[in-house]
Amino acid sequence: MEQRHRQFSLVYLLAALLLMAAMQTLLRTGAEQSLAYSDFKVLLKAGKLHDLVVGEREIRGTVDTRDLGTILAGPQADALRGAGGDERRFTTVRVGDPALTQDLEAAKIRFVGDVDSQWLGTLLSWVLPALIFVAIWGYFLRRMGSATGGLLEIGKSRARIYMQTDTGVTFADVAGIDEAKAELMEIVEYLKAPERFRRLGGKLPKGVLLLGAPGTGKTLLARAVAGEAGVPFFSISGASFVEMFVGVGAARVRDLFTQAEAKAPCIIFIDELDALGKARGFGMAGGNDEREQTLNQLLVQMDGFDTNKGVIIMAATNRPEILDPALLRAGRFDRHVPLDRPDLRGREQILQVHVRGVRLAPGTQIAQIAARTPGFAGADLANLVNEAALLAARRGKDAVDMADFDDALERIVGGLEKKNRVMNPLEKRIIAYHEAGHALVAENRPYADKVSRISIIPRGIAALGYTRQTPSEDRYVLRKSELLDRLDVLLGGRLAEELVFGDASTGAQDDLQRATDMARQMVTRYGMGEKLGFATYERLASPLEPDPAAAPREPRDYSERTAEAIDDEVRHLLADAGERVRQTLQTRRAELAALADLLLATEVVDRAALDALLHAPPAQTPTTPQTLPAAQPGAVAHAS
């Protein structure tokens, strides 16, 4: 059972101090009764006092409580008699009374002097609370130590050991990355039968670095390796090594390798290696000393151990470009295993894994779902299956069908459906023509992905409608003609508004941004401009970026004249695309109006309804040679 984390609070300390003060007051009150000095003088003259101890600041003694009512009146007499018995200890504050000694002698009362020594009071007031405070502090440190290891174990590694039965993952649970599995199968075979490799003098690579975009299955693959080999699995995040205390990270690295050697053969897996292994020499010198010291210790440990002991180091990152070069050299992480987003066949295999525990309705086509999710990683597909199952359960169904998968896909891509959002009729008509413009242009471009669904139901935060295009196959390179067709589709919504209403709205902001980015990439990255030739003027983003267009741009390294020429080329591409789209929409004006009216009536138009409206079967995307890298492969959804 997971332990609860409890934090130390000053409220407990204050409560303890107040409790001690109250106890001291109660004990003192119960032992001695405070007495006013005037009442003390009255009792002294009446001969009711004896065994007095006269100090510099107070007087203590014993009072005879019999017949006090004739001497003292009111609550003071009752307080002295309240404890029962014939005598009661009392104390009174001594005031400046020069005649006190004479009065004591006259009353013939035995008294002694006392030098006010406060050692006992000091002990009770300072030393005892300090001891109690230390005891409370130690108690809470022990409670916190059960979850965090305590201060004495701050240099210990936080790696968790997974045995084969704990991981519960094998290669059968990993799909869509067959090449990476084959690459790591060699490590599994080495851990199972090391003599097979040692007899020929072969040594296993010291480190295996898994590279891939988020959600591609790096951690899952590492756990599958441990599950297949049946060896302990040390799992730790790169950020767990670095703490606020100097030297803690390096101590944890040493402790981790010490534990691993004791459990050999085993696997050490460091997730998010970029948090620990970022290239040295960047940023402020003082702020990175601890992280660099931890990285140096990791480099030393990787150089100092022998793979023949059976300790394999695996790490995962989605930002290999920022790793320190010393980590990537031969002898450390010398084997790099890239994990790309799965293709059509890989997505189908991944979906088959995730639907094992899901009750599917008859007729559910996994291959069709895979075709509708280009660009999805393994984690995205797992989320899709889970969302579909939740939707089916919410609707009270006995099984998950294709409609649930379609709605889950729309929710993931477009956002949450907002049917209650109130829109005036003019806005709704503008959006209908906007989305009809996207769809009609896409249907009249030979290289554009065909439309699968059109909706004017608001989704997400700002999307008032969308047109979803589904590619017929995975694409890895795009020709200029194909990019121009995509550019036309992006501008179709804005120009449909201008054609019908004679005015433009703000709904095309996202379309214009994407069109501008695509045109600029055609000029600066792909050399598709007419005047600038084959030169490129923008550095390519990391191939692991989910959206290269959204990656931070490097400072430009070209002149102002070239920048002006790039701007002219971009404007030229957009202007030509706008003219082509305008001609198409004017020619298809009747179909544009019919499609907009259908959207206003039904709010959603699927592929079958669109074919019926256009009186034409769905066109096939031509298969022609592909020679240029794709700007951004994946399903296209135009949101207004």
Cis peptide before 265 (omega within 30 of 0): yes
What are the catalytic residues?
435
Asked whether residue 553 carries a pLDDT value surpassing 60, the answer given is: no
Percent of the chain with pLDDT over 70: 74
Q: Are 354 and 379 in contact (CB under 8 A)?
A: no
CA distance 530 to 528: 7
Are residues 180 and 305 in contact, defined by beta-carbon separation less than 8 angstroms?
Answer: no
Q: Pick the more confident residue, 81 or 155.
A: 81
Contact 465, 457 (CB under 8 A): yes
Amino acid 300: pLDDT: 85
State how far the alpha carbon of 296 is from the alpha carbons of 258, 277, 304, 475, in Å: 17, 9, 12, 42
SS (HEC) of 131-194: HHHHHHHHHHHHHHHHHHCCHHHCCCCCCEEECHHHHCCCHHHCCCCHHHHHHHHHHHHHHHCC
Q: List the structure tokens of 507.
A: 């709904």
| Residue found by looking up tokens 């151990």 in the block | 305
Average pLDDT over residues 587-595: 92
User: 317 near 323, Cβ under 8 Å?
Assistant: yes
Residue 203 pLDDT exceeds 70: yes
Q: What is the pLDDT of residues 458-471, one digit of tens each?
A: 876 667 888 888 88
Q: Which CATH architecture has domain 344-414?
A: Orthogonal Bundle (1.10)
Give the mean model confidence (pLDDT) for residues 228-255: 77
Residue 439 — very low, low, confident or very high, per pLDDT cuts 50/70/90? very high
The C-alpha atoms of residue 146 and residue 450 are separated, in whole angstroms, by: 59
Confidence of residue 554 (pLDDT cuts 50, 70, 90): low
Within its chain, how far is the Cα of 543 from the centroid? 23
Q: Which CATH number fits domain 160-339: 3.30.450.40, 3.40.50.2300, 3.40.50.300, 3.30.2010.20?
A: 3.40.50.300
Which residues of the chain does CATH 3.40.50.300 include?
Answer: 160-339
CA 396, 400, 405, 406: dihedral to nearest 10 degrees? -60
Residue 118: other Cβ atoms inside 10 A: 10
CATH architecture of the domain 425-639 equals Up-down Bundle (1.20)
Q: Where are the alpha helices (DSSP H) in 525-637?
A: 560-587, 589-602, 607-614
Q: What pLDDT does 596 receive?
A: 92
* Under 8 Å between Cβ of 465 and 482: no
What confidence category does residue 495 fall into, taking pLDDT thresholds of 50, 70 and 90?
Answer: very high
Question: Looking up tokens 């189908």, which residue turns up?
Answer: 348
Architecture of domain 32-116: 2-Layer Sandwich (3.30)
How much is the pLDDT for 462? Answer: 60
* Helix, strand, coil % over all residues of the chain, rounded to 5: 50, 15, 35
Question: Rounded to whole angstroms, how far apart are CA atoms 353 and 369?
Answer: 14
Whole-number pLDDT of residue 488: 94
* DSSP structure class, residue 196: H
pTM of the model: 0.66
Interacting residues of 461 by C-beta distance below 8 A, sequence separation 6+: 415
Answer yes or no: is pLDDT of 624 > 50.
no
Kindly tell me the sign of the dihedral angle through the C-alpha atoms of 399, 405, 406, 408.
Answer: positive
Continuous segment of H or E residues that includes residue 53? strand 49-55
Has residue 216 got a pLDDT over 80?
yes
Kindly report, residue by residue over 301-354, the tens digit of the pLDDT.
887 766 667 788 889 998 888 888 888 888 888 888 888 888 888 899 999 999
Lowest mean pLDDT among 80-94, 369-383, 395-409, 472-486: 80-94
Structure tokens of 203? Answer: 């040594």
175 or 389, greater pLDDT: 389
CATH 1.10.8.60 location in the chain: 344-414
Q: Taking residues 40-61, report their average pLDDT.
A: 79
Evaluate whether 52 touches 114 at the Cβ level (below 8 Å): no
| Whole-number pLDDT of residue 445 | 92
Which tops the pLDDT comparison, 143 or 477? 477
Which letter does DSSP use for residue 349 in this model? H
Query: In whole numbers, what is the pLDDT of the chain averaged over residues?
Result: 77
What pLDDT shows up at residue 159?
Answer: 52
When comparing pLDDT for 447 and 98, which is higher?
447
Residue limits of CATH 1.20.58.760 in the chain: 425-639
Burial of residue 432, with CB atoms counted within 10 A of its CB: 0-12 exposed, 13-18 middle, 19 or more buried: buried
Q: Please check whether residue 542 is in contact with residue 319, taking contact to mean a CB–CB distance below 8 angstroms.
A: yes
Q: Give CATH 3.30.720.210 domain extents, the chain.
A: 32-116
